[in-house]
Structure 1
C-alpha cells in the first residue's frame, strides 16, 4: 500500500484530529491567550461603534470563535456584534450551529455562515461591487489549507477598518511540528490541500510586505506516549496526525517509520516527563495592524 495524505480520508482525519485535541493543550493555550491577551489587543476595534463586524476565516465548529465572542462582548457590552463565518465544511458548519443553539447569552450577536473556502470568499467579494470592511478578522489554524498565503494575507488585510486587527494563529516556528516538517516533509505525502507552514514563514511574508505586527508564543504540548507502543490504536492515529498520513504505521517504509519514531523521543521534538513523552505543540498568535 502506498502512503496517502490523511486529508484524502475525511472521517479518518476527523477521528485523528479529535484524538489530537484530547491529547494536547491546543485549545487550552488558545483559550488562555484569548482571555488574558486578546481583550487588550481588541481595545481599539470598537471605540464609539454601535456595531462590531467580525470575520472568522476557517471557523471550524466554533469552539474558539465563541470564546472570542465572549471576550469581545465583555469588552463592549450592549454593542451589536455581527459574526460572519467562512467555512468550507458542511459538517463543521452544522456543529457550529448546534453549538450556538446550545449556548446561552448570545443575544446581541448575529451569526452568518458562508460555506466556502477563503479563496471562494475572496473571489465573491472581488466580483461584487461592495467589499465589506471588518473590525476584527481571525484566521485560526487555517493557513495550511491556502495555496497562495501571501496573497491571502494581503487580501484580508485590505478588508480591515481603521483601528481593526487581523489575528493569525498557527504552529510556532520553534515547535516540534516545524522541525518535523522541515526534516521529513519531502518524504511524506504532501497534499495540495495542506502546506507545511509555521509562524516563521508568516513573519517572513509580513516583513517582506512591510506590515506592522506583534507575535505571541503560546506554549502547548501533546501526549504522544501511545505512539511508542506497537499496535496501539490511539498511538497509530496520533502518528497519522503528526505525519498527515493515512495509516502511516501500515503504509510507511520501515526505515522512515523507525526514523520518525526515534526522532519523536528526542528533545528537539518532545519532552520526557516521568514515563510520558510530550510533543512540542507550541503555537504563535500574530496580530497584524491595518
Structure 2
C-alpha cells in the first residue's frame, strides 16, 4: 500500500462499490476500508462480494457484501437500501461493474453489443441513480470506472468504446445537474492493468499479446491495481474538492500514442483461435 496519504482519510464514511468483488474495484474497496471507510461491496455473485468483504474484515476493516446485477435497477436499489440500513448514508459511490470480450464488429451480435452497453453504461446510470437518494446530504462523491477506450477507438472493441464513451459523457452531464446537491462526479479511465481478469481476456496470448500492448505505452509497463486505487482515493478525499466533471486517464501515456498496438494484439489473438 502506498504511504503518501495521511491515515484515516475516509474515517467515518460509507463507500458503496459495484463490481467490488474482484479486480481493480476490489483493490479500491480494500484501500478505502484501510483508510477508515465502511465498505458495501455489490456484485452479481454474493459469494464473491462477501468473500471480498470478509478479507477486509479479517484485515481489521468494516465491510459487507451484497448481491445485485447492475442491469436490474429494482434489485440494485434493494441492495443499496440494505447497505444504507447497515452503514448509513453513502459518502462515496463507485460504479465499477464492467463487461468485455474481444470481437471484430462484424462478429458482434446485437445481444452481445447490448450486454456490454447494459453492464457498463446502463449499469453506471443505475448505480448512480439508485444511490442518489441515499447520498449524504450536501457532500458525496460519485466515481465511475471508465477506460481508455472511451477516447481511443480500438479494433475488436467497438462495443466497449461505445459504452465507455457514454460513461464519460454521463459523468460530465451529472456533474452539471447534481453539483447543487453537493455531489461531485468524476471518472477514472485506466489503461492496461496487470494481473486482472480484464487483461487476461484482452491479452490471451500471454507474452506475445503483452509485447504488442506495451509497445503502445510510453512508460512500457501496465498499471498496478494499487495505482488505480490511489487515484480513486485521491479523487474521493478532501484533497480534490474542486475536481468535478472530469475523466482522468491513468494509462502511462497510452492515449498519446493511440490504439494501434493494442488493437493489433486483439486482432492477432482472434486470428490464432
Give the TM-score, by structure 2 length. Answer: 0.49
Which has the bigger relative contact order, CA under 8 A and spacing at least 6? 1
Q: Which has the higher strand share?
A: 1
Give the TM-score, by structure 1 length. Answer: 0.47
Larger Rg over CA atoms? 1
